[in-house]
């Protein structure tokens, strides 16, 4: 078939098919992606933008006879704004993808990702490229249910709707190895100390030394026993992260064994796994979204997908709680001090009908560095501690007590050291961990 139409291709002499001006881009009719790109000379980023718009929509490396004018007029993505760094070979680029191009209804996240972060990321002349931000038209946002509980729903479950204090979460430590009995004892101790939630660690699933269903039954029973003494129901998020074809079945088993929450690592299982759980009407418990491994695609400042974008997608996919990083702790470089507020805004800010997500700060936390974390993230934060609870010199219960005391001090605007004078578990925690992760060294970042 020989086309008589002018065919959209990636050749720059036909760039007008794939370029536009900002005033002609309707954000209700286009997905707008912001990229950082870095290209080989003599290519400039705006020329490369044409290549991206073409490859990711209706062009390829040559004109093809199978195309037609309707395709060019309605489906071509368009580069419409760019900002050079030094020279013209790196900088920021905005591309608009017409909504008609995207099958968000059947294809959902896989289709969005294949378009927004697809083939071009490996193009020979584009040395690096990072999807920094995405703005979605209302019609696409409306196709996602988002979180079932979100911030307010979790606060109702936990009983903090009035005081709106930070929540305290415990993570199983060691990462793997405890038997079901040992872990249920540890979580019961943490519950006696005042945690609000507890969760498996992200590499635990159904290892032989701790069969998953037995673990869920035992932890649930232990937390129920604590509730009969304290009146407080702690939420347990066992891990449900598994293969796509097994995840709903596994969720059902965990729920039938008493789980009142579920944890999924959406970076390993995919956004669709999280969405499958959140949009299943029979799953009526909150979802803790872990992101272990995100750094493989987010950490390089010049290549990959930003934390902000993966967090926005996790919100759309239905995360009730989502890891956002820490203001002090064991993970992340200096870029996190800009990244975390942006991410928190993306997961809490207005987004049509989609509920705000509860941010989780995790990784090397101990009570002595709670204030910096609350200052950066806000009081809507779950302070999530593994080592910082189970590593307390007096044991897990004291670790949890110290965490709750630090939260009380923050809520009363009292410096931790002062509050610790009347609260011995906090005092011991502050003495034990001292300035670990509080000050800049090779193991932690602090703002300039
Ligand atoms: C924390 C943690 C979390 C990370 C995730 C861990 O344990 O359970 O997986 O914090 O990081 O295994 O390291 P500790 P992020 O409290 O003992 O450090 O939230 O940045 O995704
Ligand atoms: Mg972990």
For 177-211, write each residue's pLDDT tens digit.
999 999 999 999 999 999 999 999 999 999 999 99
**Average pLDDT over every residue of 342-363:** 98
At 35, which CATH number? 3.30.70.150
Q: Which of 168, 190, 332, 386 gets mutated to test ligand 1 (max ligand atoms within 8 A of its CB)?
A: 386
**Would residue 48 be called left, alpha or beta, if left means φ above 0 and alpha means ψ between -120 and 50 degrees?**
alpha
413 domain-assigned: yes
445 domain-assigned: no
6 domain-assigned: no
Statement to judge: residues 413 and 282 lie in one domain = yes
12 domain-assigned: no
Q: Is the CB of 339 under 6 A from ligand 1?
A: no
Q: Is the CB of 359 under 6 A from ligand 1?
A: no
Domain boundary residue, one of 142, 160, 182: 142
Q: Is the CB of 323 under 6 A from ligand 1?
A: yes
DSSP letter string, 21-87: -GGG--TTTEEEEEEEEEE-TT--HHHHHHHHHHHTTT--SS--TT--HHHHHHH--EEEEEEESST
Closest-CA residue, ligand 1 atom 6, reads 363
Statement to judge: residues 162 and 74 lie in one domain = no
**Average pLDDT over every residue of 26-45:** 96
Domain range for 86 is: 17-142
Statement to judge: residues 287 and 424 lie in one domain = yes
* Strand, coil or helix: 160: coil
Ion ligand 2 — residues with CB < 5 Å: 201-202
324 domain-assigned: yes
Q: Is the CB of 364 under 6 A from ligand 1?
A: yes
Measured in Å, residue 294 CA sits from the centre of ligand 2 at 13
3 domain-assigned: no
Statement to judge: residues 120 and 266 lie in one domain = no
2 domain-assigned: no
Q: Is the CB of 265 under 6 A from ligand 1?
A: no
Statement to judge: residues 122 and 159 lie in one domain = no
Q: Is the CB of 278 under 6 A from ligand 1?
A: no
Amino acid 60: pLDDT? 87
**Average pLDDT over every residue of 223-233:** 98
Active site residues: 173, 290
Statement to judge: residues 164 and 52 lie in one domain = no
Helix axes 247-256, 212-230, angle to 10 degrees: 40
**Average pLDDT over every residue of 352-376:** 98
Statement to judge: residues 129 and 103 lie in one domain = yes
Domain boundary residue, one of 112, 142, 172: 142
Amino acid 16: pLDDT? 84
pLDDT confidence band for 12 (50 / 70 / 90): very low
Q: How many domains does the chain have?
A: 2
How does pLDDT run across 122-169, given as a tens digit for each residue? 999 999 999 999 999 999 999 999 999 999 999 999 999 999 999 999
Amino acid 419: pLDDT? 98
Closest-CA residue, ligand 1 atom 10, reads 363
pLDDT confidence band for 2 (50 / 70 / 90): very low
Domain boundary residue, one of 109, 142, 175: 142
30-39 vs 90-98, strand pairing mode: antiparallel
Measured in Å, residue 386 CA sits from the centre of ligand 2 at 8
4 has a pLDDT exceeding 70: no
pTM: 0.96
Amino acid 15: pLDDT? 64
211 domain-assigned: yes
How does pLDDT run across 51-88, given as a tens digit for each residue? 999 999 999 888 888 989 899 999 999 999 999 998 99
Statement to judge: residues 158 and 135 lie in one domain = no
The alpha-helical segments, DSSP class H, found in 136-285 are 138-142, 150-158, 180-193, 212-230, 247-256, 266-269, 271-278
Statement to judge: residues 205 and 297 lie in one domain = yes
Q: Which of 174, 176, 197, 363 gets mutated to test ligand 1 (max ligand atoms within 8 A of its CB)?
A: 363
Q: Which atom of ligand 1 is nearest to the CA of 173?
A: 17
Amino acid 8: pLDDT? 46
**Would residue 91 be called left, alpha or beta, if left means φ above 0 and alpha means ψ between -120 and 50 degrees?**
left
How does pLDDT run across 265-312, given as a tens digit for each residue? 999 999 999 999 999 999 999 999 999 999 999 999 999 999 999 999
At 349, which CATH number? 3.20.20.110
Statement to judge: residues 45 and 183 lie in one domain = no
Q: Is the CB of 330 under 6 A from ligand 1?
A: yes
Statement to judge: residues 299 and 162 lie in one domain = yes
Measured in Å, residue 125 CA sits from the centre of ligand 2 at 38
Amino acid 65: pLDDT? 86
What is the overall mean pLDDT for the chain? 95
Amino acid 14: pLDDT? 58
Closest-CA residue, ligand 1 atom 20, reads 325
Evaluate whether 404 touches 193 at the Cβ level (below 8 Å).
yes
382-385 vs 126-135, strand pairing mode: unpaired
Statement to judge: residues 162 and 138 lie in one domain = no
Residue indicated by tokens 């059947």:
106
């Amino acid at each position: 078939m020989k086309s008589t139409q002018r065919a959209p291709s990636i050749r720059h002499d036909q760039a007008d098919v794939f370029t536009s001006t900002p005033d002609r881009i309707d954000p209700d009719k286009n997905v707008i992606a912001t990229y950082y790109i870095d290209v080989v000379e003599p290519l400039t980023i705006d020329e490369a933008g044409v290549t991206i718009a073409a490859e990711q929509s209706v062009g390829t490396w040559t004109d093809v006879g199978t195309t037609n004018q309707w395709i060019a007029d309605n489906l071509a993505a368009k580069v419409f704004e760019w900002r050079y760094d030094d020279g013209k070979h790196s900088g920021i680029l905005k591309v608009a993808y017409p909504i008609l191009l995207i099958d968000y209804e059947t294809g959902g996240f896989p289709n969005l990702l294949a378009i927004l972060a697809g083939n071009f990321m490996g193009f020979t002349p584009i040395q690096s490229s990072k999807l920094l931000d995405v703005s979605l038209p209302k019609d696409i946002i409306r196709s996602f249910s988002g979180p079932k509980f979100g911030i307010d729903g979790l606060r109702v479950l936990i009983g903090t709707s009035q005081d709106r204090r930070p929540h305290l979460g415990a993570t199983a430590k060691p990462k793997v190895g405890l038997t079901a009995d040992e872990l249920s004892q540890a979580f019961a101790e943490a519950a006696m100390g005042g945690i609000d939630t507890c969760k498996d660690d992200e590499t635990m699933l159904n290892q032989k030394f701790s069969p998953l269903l037995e673990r869920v039954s035992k932890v649930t029973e232990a937390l129920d026993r604590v509730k009969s003494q304290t009146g407080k129901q702690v939420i347990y998020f066992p891990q449900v992260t598994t293969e796509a074809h097994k995840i709903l079945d596994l969720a059902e088993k965990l729920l039938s064994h008493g789980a009142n929450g579920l944890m999924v690592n959406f970076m390993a299982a995919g956004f669709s796994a999280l969405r499958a759980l959140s949009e299943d009407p029979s799953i009526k418990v909150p979802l803790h979204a872990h992101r272990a491994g995100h750094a493989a695609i987010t950490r390089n400042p010049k290549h990959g997908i930003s934390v902000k974008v993966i967090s926005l997608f996790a919100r759309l996919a239905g995360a009730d709680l989502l890891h956002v990083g820490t203001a002090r702790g064991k993970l992340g470089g200096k870029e996190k001090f800009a990244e975390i507020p942006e991410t928190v805004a993306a997961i809490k800010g207005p987004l049509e009908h989609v509920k705000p997500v509860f941010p989780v700060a995790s990784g090397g936390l101990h009570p002595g560095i709670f204030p910096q974390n609350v200052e950066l993230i806000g009081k809507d934060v779950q302070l999530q501690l593994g080592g910082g609870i189970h590593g307390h010199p007096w044991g897990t219960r004291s670790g949890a007590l110290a965490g709750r005391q630090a939260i009380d001090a923050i809520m009363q605007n009292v410096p931790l050291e002062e509050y610790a004078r009347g609260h011995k578990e906090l005092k011991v925690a502050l003495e034990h961990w001292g300035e670990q992760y509080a000050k800049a060294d090779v193991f932690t970042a602090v703002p300039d």
